[in-house]
Amino acid sequence: MNLKDFGKKLIFLPDATKGAIKFLTTEQIRSTKTKGIVVNTLHLLMNLDVEKMEELGGIKKIMNWDGYVLSDSGGFQVYSLVHSKKWKGSIDENGVTFVSPKDGSKHLLTPESAIDIQLAIGSDVLVCLDDCRFSEVSRKEAELSVERTLRWGERCKKHFEKKNLKKEKLLSCVVQGAGYLDLREMCAKELSKMGFDGYNFGGYVVNKSGNLVTEEMEKVIENVPEEKFKYVMGVGKPNDIIKCAEMGYTVFDTVLVTRNARHGSLYSFDEKKEKDYLLRIGNVKYSKEQNPIDSTCDCETCKNHSRAYIHYLLKIKEPTGYTLATIHNLRFYQRLIDSLSNG
């Protein structure tokens, strides 16, 4: 694993939010040819505190994982949990204060502490804390979000450089601007001046209709350094990954691939691209089909089991079914990435 090569080629990172992918062992994750995972800074902070993470040697040692680890900063959760009032808390120039819904304890997440926590996690690729907002906020709110994201990005970089003396880690920033193209452009240009290892498209990647916000995405790509990796956070569906790769994005992640597996939405190159390669295994027509989920797939599930068996396991809510479905979906995504990388 050469960190200098991260994002030079297309890579898909499944979400191991709390340091695990549901129903899979670390060895099963490896079997899908997955090269890296995404962990969630805020959720790890809430469930496995900084001191405990450091004491246990970081998430790689805990998981026995030898691939890449990318940690988000908690910026999206700032929006989804604090801005939306799902969690008690407040946001000011210093950072985010929030109250744990588990035990009522107070936590402060600043640009500096976000870096410290990610270093304690043992991440290879860190993400700056940003002030994320919904795509359709007012112009004034979007401007405030961009201005704070830039100030926090500068603070993150300064603190990161003090800590990363051996140059063993990478730091990426998050481009905000909501649905305002000129703000996306300005944010991208200003962050580019600071000099990060990667540039991430932040905020919501789809509109209310479920379609990619392609104009905003293209505006970011046009205004960040060509040689740096571009990470579109939260994408997504196979056809959306294809479109983003065509734009120039190289790093992808989504909870969709594993969540869909547990709900019987599986992916197969035997299905039509126009239908996003989707196969809903719970459909009664699959209860008698002896062929694998994907006739071209080399995963454990497809080599050993039929559609009928997976249909049956998920129907009776057998955990083995969730495992086999998740293995297949992860392997499908890695094969999709390979097919795009190889033209």
* Marked catalytic residue, from 197, 240, 253, 294: 253
Q: What residue has token string 């094969």?
A: 335
Using alpha carbons, select from 258, 262, 259 the residue that is nearest to residue 310: 262
How far does Cα 139 stand from its chain's mean position?
Answer: 27
Q: Which long-range contacts (CB under 8 A, 24 or more apart) does 302-310 make?
A: 302/328, 307/281, 310/266, 310/281, 310/286
214-222 helix and 181-194 helix, angle to the nearest 10 degrees: 30
Which are the contacts of 103, defined by CB distance < 8 A and separation ≥ 6?
A: none
Tokens of 330: 């992860």
* Marked catalytic residue, from 72, 124, 240, 294: 72
What distance in Å separates the CA atoms of residue 113 and residue 343, rounded to the nearest whole number?
Answer: 41
Identify the bridge partners of residue 212 per DSSP, sorted by sequence position: 206
* Residue pair 326/22 in contact by the 8 Å Cβ criterion: yes
What three-state secondary structure class fits 200? Answer: strand
- DSSP letter assigned to residue 11: E
Tokens of 136: 């359709």
Tokens of 244: 């983003």
* Residue pair 239/169 in contact by the 8 Å Cβ criterion: no
| Amino acid (one-letter) located at 153 | G
Active site residue 72: yes
What distance in Å separates the CA atoms of residue 287 and residue 289, rounded to the nearest whole number?
Answer: 6
Active site residue 338: no
Annotated catalytic residues are 72, 253
